[in-house]
Amino acid sequence: MSDKMTIAAFSSALVVDDSRSILDYFNIILEGLGILHVFTAINGKKALEILDHEQDIELLLCDINMPEMDGIEVLRHLSERNYPGKIIIISGEHKRVIESSARLAEAYHLNIIGALTKPVTMKQLRCLLANTEHHTPAGISPALHEFSIADLQQALDNSEFIIYIQPKIDLHSQEVVGGEALARWQHPELGLIGAEAFIPFLESNELLYRLTDLLLEQAMLIASEICKTESDFKLSLNVSINCLNRYNLPDLLLARCLELGIRPANLVFEITETRLVKDFRKVLEIMTRMRLKGFGLSIDDFGTGYSSMEHLQNFPFDELKIDKTFVTGASDNAAAKAIIESSVALAKKLDMLVVAEGVETREDWQFVTRLGCDVIQGYMLARPMPTVDFLEYINSKTYRTELRIPPVTS
C-alpha cells in the first residue's frame, strides 16, 4: 500500500530491454509500485514507435546493450524529440560504461534520474522513484536566450544583482572558516535568478567587468561586517581571469581593504578560466601583485578547464578548488577518486590548500576527508543563502549540532 502511495505520481512507464524475461520482470514490479500503464519494447526502434503513439509516457527505463539500436542511440533519439519524461538506465554493463551513459543523457539535457546495475530490485527502484520530484522544481532559472544584453544592462543600472553566500568548513577545526560569494539576479518580475543563467552569457561581454566591480564592492562590505567578529574569515569571490584587466587593481583593492578595516587575507579570488587568456603578461603581473599584497588566489573548477595544469604552473595560486563534478558521489566512482587523489597530491606538493565543492552527502564528506582535502563546501553543509542569513548562520554556530559533524573513519 505504502509503495503505491509513494510513487503514484507516475501513471505510465515504458521499459526497453532486449530480454523478454526482463521486460516481464519490470512489468510486474512497476505495476506493483502502482504505475497504471506499463508498456514494454523489445528493442529501441519499437520503443520509439510506442513513444510516437503514447505521448504521455512519464517514465522510461532503458537497457544499454541491445542489438541493432543500443540504449545510447535511444538516448540520442529521445534528446532529438525533446522527451520530457524521467529516464532510468538499467544495465548489466561495467559501472564506468553505465556512468558514462548517464552523463551522456545529462549532456543531452534529458531528465535522467538514475542508473541501476542489473539485477535491479523492487526496493532500489522504489527508493529511486520516491526520491524523485515528479514535477519541474520551482524557481528554476529561465534559459539563457531569454535575456538580451539590454536586459542585463538595465539590471546593472538598477543594481539588481546581489550576493548569496555558501559556507565553507575547515575539516581540521570543523569550523566555518569562510564562504563563497555567488551572484544572484533579483529580477523584478521573474524573482531570483541563479548565476548559471546569466554569467556564461556575460562571459564574452564587457558587462561582466561592470558586474564584477559591483559585486566586488558588495563583497568587501560584507567581509568587513563578518570580520568584526571573525577576524580570520575568508570570503571568496568568483572572478573570471579576463576581468583582471587593470594594472592598478591590486592597489585599488588594498586601498579599499584599508578603508574598510579588513586584511587582504580576508579575501580569496576564485579565478575561473576561459578558453583564452587575452593578455597573459598583464594577468600574470596582476595576480602576482595581488599575492604579494596578501590576497588569496584560488584556481577554480580545477580539472574541468582547458588548461588547468598550465594555469597552475604559471600563476601564483595558493588554493586549489576541486570541481563538484568530481566530488559529488565520488565514493562510487573510481575515476573521480583517482582525480581527487592526484589533485590533492599535486596541491600538497605545491603547498596549496585544497577545497572540495559539491559535498552533498555524508559519504562525500567522509570520502574527501579521507583523501586529504582541507576545506569543504556543498549542499550537505548549506545551500547559498542571503547575506543576512549567512551572518546569522555563522554567529549562531548551530551548524555544529545540526550537522552532527561525522568522525573520520579510515
Q: Which residues make up the interface to Ca ion (CB under 5 A)?
A: 238, 270, 300-301, 323
* SS3 category, 308: helix
Q: Which of 68, 357, 363, 402 is catalytic?
A: 357
The site partner of 44 among ligand C2E, Ca ion, none (C-beta below 5 to 8 Å per kind) is none
Within 10 Å of residue 284's Cβ, how many Cβ atoms?
15
Tell me how far, at minimum, the Cβ of 197 lies from ligand C2E, in Å: 8
Active site residue 180: no
Binding site for ligand C2E (CB under 6 A): 166, 182-183, 194-196, 199, 215, 238-240, 270, 272, 300-301, 324, 328, 357-360, 377-379, 384
The residue whose Cβ lies closest to ligand C2E is 378
Q: Distance between CA atoms of 193 and 198, rounded to whole angstroms?
A: 8
Tell me how far, at minimum, the Cβ of 325 lies from Ca ion, in Å: 8
The site partner of 387 among Ca ion, ligand C2E, none (C-beta below 5 to 8 Å per kind) is none
Nearer to ligand C2E, 169 or 239 (CB): 239
> Which residue's C-alpha cell is 565553507?
168
Q: Specify burial of residue 71 (Cβ count, 10 A radius: 0-12, 13-18, 19+).
A: buried
Q: Name beta bridge partners: 296.
A: 268
The site partner of 182 among Ca ion, ligand C2E, none (C-beta below 5 to 8 Å per kind) is ligand C2E
The site partner of 250 among Ca ion, ligand C2E, none (C-beta below 5 to 8 Å per kind) is none
C-alpha triplet 148, 154, 157: angle, nearest 5°: 150
Whether the CB-CB separation of 292 and 326 falls below 8 Å is answered with: no
Tell me how far, at minimum, the Cβ of 384 lies from ligand C2E, in Å: 5
Tell me how far, at minimum, the Cβ of 202 lies from ligand C2E, in Å: 8
The site partner of 141 among Ca ion, ligand C2E, none (C-beta below 5 to 8 Å per kind) is none
> Which residue's C-alpha cell is 567578529?
229
Whether the CB-CB separation of 236 and 270 falls below 8 Å is answered with: yes
Tell me how far, at minimum, the Cβ of 296 lies from Ca ion, in Å: 13
Tell me how far, at minimum, the Cβ of 132 lies from Ca ion, in Å: 25
The site partner of 25 among ligand C2E, Ca ion, none (C-beta below 5 to 8 Å per kind) is none
C-alpha triplet 46, 49, 50: angle, nearest 5°: 90
Nearer to ligand C2E, 71 or 167 (CB): 167
Q: Distance between CA atoms of 112 and 4, rounded to whole angstroms?
A: 22
Nearer to ligand C2E, 171 or 199 (CB): 199
Phi-psi sector, 158: left (phi>0), alpha (psi -120 to 50), beta: alpha
Residue 15's identity, in one-letter code, is V
Helices and strands counted in the chain (H then E): 17, 15
Active-site positions? Answer: 357
